[in-house]
Structure 1
């Protein structure tokens, strides 16, 4: 089953290659969507694909790359967006 999650990651998540690592994890899991930094210091993410793979990425987002410190992760189900590929939005 395909699912879509959208949400926000808070903590020390900018300046630690969080977006690049998220992109690499999403590509490894064959997921679609995007990730971007927000002006308030959070990272926003939208991810869709096979449920097991989306859940695996969600679990990874709870800690992120080694240099990051994730204080909170908020993800909500969304309707499928039909995104092709995974990108870093600026």
Structure 2
């Protein structure tokens, strides 16, 4: 398993009011080893912060870009950083 990282993603499209945050949390828990959150933003995007092993964060990012998500994703932008900690689980905000 690789070193832990922090992946922050912003998901655009029809992603609010369709259960996107709930399904993202469920997927993160299914992948395992991730902590962080999914939150609606005022401009209609959903922000996801995930910390954990790089491979697992990458797996979550690939799911965000797949056709398996609720709603309709038109784009995902992400940045990678050092983990900051402070999360005990994966939450919906």
Taking structure 2 as the reference length, the TM-score comes to 0.88
Q: Which residue of 2 aligns with 1:86?
A: 90
Deviation at 1:40, TM superposition (A): 0.7
- In the TM superposition, structure 1's runs of 4+ consecutive aligned residues that sit over 4 Å from their partners are none
In the alignment, the residues of structure 2 paired with residue 67 and residue 19 of structure 1 have an alpha-carbon distance, to the nearest angstrom, of 9
Root-mean-square deviation (CA), in Å? 1.4
What's the TM-score, normalizing by structure 1?
0.90
Tell me whether 66-75 or 25-34 shows the greater mean CA deviation.
66-75
Equivalent position of 1:11 in the other structure: 13
* Preserved contact between residue 21 and residue 65 of structure 1 (Cα < 8 Å): no
Across the two proteins, how many residue pairs are aligned to each other? 89
User: Per-residue displacement from partner, 1:7-43 (whole Å, max 9, x unpaired)?
Assistant: 2000010111000000001111121100100111000
Q: How does 1:43-54 map to 2 (within 5 A)?
A: 43-54=46-57
